[in-house]
Amino acid sequence: MLKKLLAIAGAIAALWLVFAVNSFTLPVVFLHYSAAATAPVTYFFNEDNDIVKDHLVPGESIEFRTARRLHTDYFIDVSLPFASRDGVEIRQPFSRVDIYIGPDTKIERTVVKTDFLARVASK
């Protein structure tokens, strides 16, 4: 009986580990808002027509994990429609994308990395 319980516990632990590694290694998009800003900014994150609308406060960074297996028309569109009306469209291939929003709520720069290990790096 103890062997069966240990085998089941081992299988559950192995599945949990596979799930965690899979989730941790998905392509990632970061939004970074300048700490010098004075007010929150509203952003739209449109991942292949799945839209998230939220706010960033000054100095905040947010992470979006994206799909691993992308179809040919896959896109990500990040926009700031109520502030500067800036936006950026991201197409594959990418592993990690960093979008920097300045204190004037304009997108200052976008850094796209394609190497696999870039997606597991910290902010």
The string of pLDDT tens digits covering residues 76-99 is 999 999 988 899 999 888 889 999
Residue 84 C-alpha from the chain's centroid: 22
Rounded alpha-carbon distances, angstroms, from residue 55 to 33, 58, 78: 10, 10, 12
**Do the beta carbons of residue 96 and residue 24 sit within 8 Å?**
no
Give me 49's structure tokens. 């027509």
User: Which CATH fold would you assign to the domain 27-120?
Assistant: Immunoglobulin-like (2.60.40)
Q: How many C-beta atoms surround the C-beta of residue 78 within 10 A?
A: 23
Question: What's residue 122's pLDDT?
Answer: 60
Sequence ranges of the domains in the chain: 27-120
Which phi and psi (to 5°) does residue 7 adopt?
A: -65, -40
Query: Which parts of the chain are beta strand (E)?
Result: 28-33, 41-47, 50-56, 61-65, 75-79, 87-91, 96-101, 107-113
3-state secondary structure of 7: helix
**Segment 9-68, tens digit of pLDDT:** 899 998 988 887 776 778 899 999 999 999 999 999 999 889 999 999 999 999 999 887
**Segment 69-82, tens digit of pLDDT:** 778 888 999 999 99
Token pair 């998230």: residue: 52
Token pair 């976008």: residue: 110
Which phi and psi (to 5°) does residue 47 adopt?
A: -105, 100
